Chains A and B, each alone.
Chain A
């Protein structure tokens, strides 16, 4: 199994809603990542979890709250988002956070904030 599974594939939410994005991998990877990709732009790193601990937060607003319940799961809790937060949210995992390991990406969640 070399898959990173993200759910849901599409999400439309209002600015007052609370929702969560989910990411799962069963490759035994110990590093997991959230990236944000705006239309026609490259992915930008949001968070890195290494061994279930948050190791990097790239100055992301607090309306995005990551959670890593165990080594296979990564969530991104969303609250009070703005329309400009609409984007493709990509989850990735790698064997660990050392630089010489390949990152495997999920298919992303297309988020629209209305």
Chain B
């Protein structure tokens, strides 16, 4: 079974500063996908960034980047130049493509990030 752990229930960061959200996971699979989703007060889950486990290069999307450590089963999210609009709940998620027909995302418990003006 897969588990996803986010050990930081809440974090805050000053506007324009950098913050890192941590995520660890447990799986016996070798090929899988990892995601960070953002859920603002509007409630809509928005994909922030994704990482394929077979890729060694860390994914980046503008101000968002990940530090993927496959051996340590760690997948942290770094947000640079934090903006007020980054205030949201952030979920780390795992997907195992071995399960046929199942685009089944396993979510961590989330980290509530507040960007302080």
Contacts and interface: CB of A to CB of B under 8 A. Distances in A.
Contact of B101 (A43, A48, A90): A48
- Report the interface size class on chain B: 20 to 34
A42 B91 contact: yes
A33 interface: yes
A108 B44 contact: yes
Contacts, number: 63
B30 interface: no
Given A42-B110, A99-B97, A100-B52, 15 more contacts: A31-B103, A33-B103, A40-B110, A43-B45, A55-B102, A56-B102, A98-B97, A98-B103, A99-B95, A99-B96, A99-B102, A102-B50, A103-B47, A103-B105, A108-B44
Interface of B: 33, 37, 42-47, 50, 52, 91, 95-97, 101-105, 107-110
